[in-house]
Every structure is written in C-alpha cells, then in structure tokens.
Amino acid sequence: MKQVSIIGLGYIGLPTAAMFASHGVKVKGVDVVQEICDIINEGKIHIEEPYLEEIVKQSVLSGMFSASTIVEPSDNFIIAVPTPITREKKADLSYVVKAAESIYPVLKPGNLVILESTVSPRCTEDVLIPVLEKSGLKAGRDFYVAHCPERVLPGKIIYELEHNNKIIGGITEESAIKAKELYSAFVQGEMHLTDATTAELCKLMENTYRDVNIALANELAKICDKLGVNVWDVVKYANKHPRVNLHQPGPGVGGHCLAVDPWFIVEATPELARIIELSRKTNDGMPAYVAQKVAGLVPDRAKVVVLGCTYKPDVDDMRESPVVELIEMLEENYQVEVVDPYIEKYDSNVYEVSNDADLIVLGVNHKQFKNLNFDVLAKIMKTKKILDTRNLFDKHAVTQSGFEYFLLGDGSSTALAEEAVFEVAAAQV
C-alpha cells in the first residue's frame, strides 16, 4: 500500500491528508503542535472546513490516518507549512527549512519530497534541496523532488482538491511523473507537468494577477470619486465587453495569499516588479482612504459602527484583513463598535450596538448584512449616515428610511473627505 507523510496539518495539509487517506493511501500526519495531533487522533479537526471532519473521522477510524509530532520514514513526504511575510515584506521560509530538516534524517533512496507551500522563486532548488541533501543523497538522482502548489479556496477545499487543475513542478521529469502518480490517487483535474521554478512562479502570479486587477479597480474607484461617476456602474458595464473582467473595488485586499504572494516576486526582482509593487501599495492604502472618508462624515469622538472585520465575506478568517486595519485607524479618533457574526469576540447583532451611533461603515459584505432593517436603525441612531465600501446596500431603500448614503467610488463622500484633517498612519499612494 502507498504511504505518505504530510508535514504541517493546517488549512492545506489536513484536507490533503484526509483526501489521500480516504483514497487508499496510508497517511502519517506530522505537526509540531501536540494538541493538534491529539485532536486529529480523536477523529476531530481544529479548523473550520465543510465536509472535512467527517472524512478525517472515517480515515482515523479505518486506521488510514494518524498524526504525531515525529517524522518517520516514508515513501513520500509532502510539506504544507506556512510561508508568511516578515514586517519588511520578505518571505519567511523558516518553516520550510525546519520541515526539510525533520525529513532529511529519515530520507531514503527512491523517496519523493513534494513542497506544496507557496514559496519565493527558486526556493525548491536553492533552499529546500540543499537541506534535504544533508542526508548524503543527491536530489534528482537518489530521490525525487517536486513543487506542487496548492490552489484551493477556503470553504471549498474538499471539492477543489479533487477537481482543480494542478501544476506539478519536478526538478527532473521523473520527479514530476512520480508526483503526478501520487496525486492521481484523488485528483480528477488535469495535472500539468513542468519544472519547479515555473510552478513556483505560476502560483505566485495567480494571486498577483488578482491583486493587480483589484488595485486597478481601487484606482478606478478613486478616479470615479474625483469625477463623481459611480465606479460600480463602470465596472458592471465595462464587463459586458466579452474580453474585459474588471475586478471589484473595496476597502483593501486581505487574506494570506493575495496580500502576501506578490511581495515574494517583488523581493526576488525589486527593480523589475514595478506594477506588482505599486498594486500592493495601492491596495494597502485603501483602509487609509476609507478612514479619510469617515473623517469627512463625522466629527472626532463620534460613535462609528463597523460591519464586518474578516478579510472577505462569509468566512471566519481575519488574516491580513484590511478592515481590521481600518478599525485600528478609526479607534484613534472615534468610539468604534464592531459587528461580525463570524468572530466570537464581536457582537453579531447590528441593532444592539447601533444605539446612538453616528455612522455605520459597511466593511465586509457578509450575507447577514444584506437585509438590514434601516427603519429600525433610523430610530435608534443619533445621526443617520451610512458609508458602504462594497456596494451592498440598496441606495433607494436606505435613503427612504431617512439615511444619508455614501458609497465608496461614486464621489458622494469625496468633497467632505478632502476637507477633513485626518492623520492616517498607513502610507498613502
């Protein structure tokens, strides 16, 4: 029976382990946190992901999946550890290095090592392989290495692991073929064989493409604010063209991928990645841009209710969330209340915290905010003002309830914001 050892049992490693184990491959999961291993060995999970717990439970019960803190000899190893950025916007590859250091003492001829973590260009060749070769074995000759980046969307991981296309970047053709053979246990999507560095750059460019396009939409929102044109209409109608796909503007870009991966390319080629860097800075400047608008709408010490603080709608993930940054900026000048039904520490009831409020700022378009009762809010708020950064609300319904409605990217809050004196912490582009 095939076996695989998966190093790192987080958002990617755990679902990947569960998919292998439920498709006839025996899995040894490894995580540095004993508590995570204990939870998994009880057939439970420590992250939120639809369908995952059931598969983990079945796999543990059938003896196909177990977790421990120790790396044991195996035919195949998959590294799925985090690769965050430092404060200086440099890739932190220390978890990849640590994972490789835990593998090389048990590495044997004929083994396959796959790196799934998103990494900087040339990391597989220049960082991973030198550590693995401390085993005395030669990569490409004695053992196989491939970079096969994950591409799945949280909330749809199980489906996407099975159905998405996969890029398989071998350090040799044989390495790529071996990796493809392993994944074919459950991957139904096409598998495209290439070299490791191409695979690294593919993964980084997928998220960079999106980040750059969102920056373009955010720049357009600022232009529309200046010109008094509705950006959401411009995006909607421009996208009627068969070859145009403008993205949506908003208060910024968050998550552990789009807000991070482009920096890996900037780090590798700072003199060349100009559009990429400017886009990152444009998106990073959006919370400050929204804060400036708030300053134009309400006086200091006003009560501001922010709806949503996760990095995108309908998830419980606040990593790199631009709205968290916005909240921190607003807290310097206002009395801020946050409502988010997905985050335990915050209120989930808009009406309970909006008493005497001066302004509601819609930060994240969670489905729970779609049908707010503005008549009720109009009765309890002190000043009836709404700033919508996502074009979620129906302007007509909001104004009928007596609210002043301000939308990001239509000029409605621009003149006031330009007059406002507001010291913003983040660098404006």
Tell me which residues are annotated as active site: 203, 257
> Does 247 interact with ligand SAJ (rule: CB under 6 A)?
yes
Q: Are 362 and 388 in contact (CB under 8 A)?
A: yes
Q: How far is the CB of 117 from ligand SAJ (least distance, A)?
A: 10
> Does 254 interact with ligand SAJ (rule: CB under 6 A)?
yes
Q: How far is the CB of 207 from ligand SAJ (least distance, A)?
A: 5
User: Which residue lies nearer to ligand SAJ by CB, 211 or 358?
Assistant: 211
Backbone angles phi, psi at 3, to 5 degrees: -140, 150
**Dihedral of CA 303/305/310/312: which sign?**
negative
Q: Left, alpha or beta for 319 (phi > 0: left; psi -120 to 50: alpha)?
A: beta
User: In a 3-state reduction of DSSP, which class is residue 108?
Assistant: coil
Number of residues that bind ligand SAJ (CB under 6 A): 18
What part of residues 306-335 is at the interface with ligand SAJ (CB under 6 A)? 311-312
Q: How far is the CB of 58 from ligand SAJ (least distance, A)?
A: 25
User: Which residue lies nearer to ligand SAJ by CB, 172 or 194?
Assistant: 194
**Per CB under 6 A, which region of 13-21, 124-132, 246-254, 372-380 contacts ligand SAJ?**
246-254
Which H/E stretch holds residue 60? helix 52-61
**Dihedral of CA 343/344/350/356: which sign?**
negative
List the one residue from 26, 28, 147, 151 that touches ligand SAJ (CB under 6 A): 151
Q: How far is the CB of 72 from ligand SAJ (least distance, A)?
A: 28
Distances (CA, A) of 126 to 118, 122, 130, 409: 15, 6, 7, 45
What part of residues 198-227 is at the interface with ligand SAJ (CB under 6 A)? 206-207, 210, 214
List the one residue from 250, 262, 296, 409 that touches ligand SAJ (CB under 6 A): 250
User: Which residue lies nearer to ligand SAJ by CB, 296 or 363?
Assistant: 363
DSSP at 195: E
List the one residue from 80, 258, 327, 360 that touches ligand SAJ (CB under 6 A): 258
Measured torsion, CA atoms of residues 216, 217, 222, 224, in degrees rounded to the nearest 10: 120
User: Which residue lies nearer to ligand SAJ by CB, 138 or 163?
Assistant: 163
Residue 303's DSSP bridge partners are 335
> Does 248 interact with ligand SAJ (rule: CB under 6 A)?
yes
**Per CB under 6 A, which region of 41-49, 138-146, 252-260, 367-375 contacts ligand SAJ?**
252-260
**Among the listed residues 219, 155, 206, 164, the one whose alpha carbon sits nearest the alpha carbon of residue 186:** 164
> Does 366 interact with ligand SAJ (rule: CB under 6 A)?
no
Q: How far is the CB of 306 from ligand SAJ (least distance, A)?
A: 15
Residue 92's DSSP bridge partners are none
Cα separation, 115 vs 195, in Å, equals: 13
Cα separation, 136 vs 128, in Å, equals: 14
> Does 257 interact with ligand SAJ (rule: CB under 6 A)?
yes
User: Which residue lies nearer to ligand SAJ by CB, 83 or 175?
Assistant: 83
Cα separation, 366 vs 263, in Å, equals: 28
Helix axes 261-268, 196-227, angle to 10 degrees: 110
Residues within the interface to ligand SAJ (CB under 6 A): 118, 151-153, 206-207, 210, 214, 247-248, 250, 253-255, 257-258, 311-312
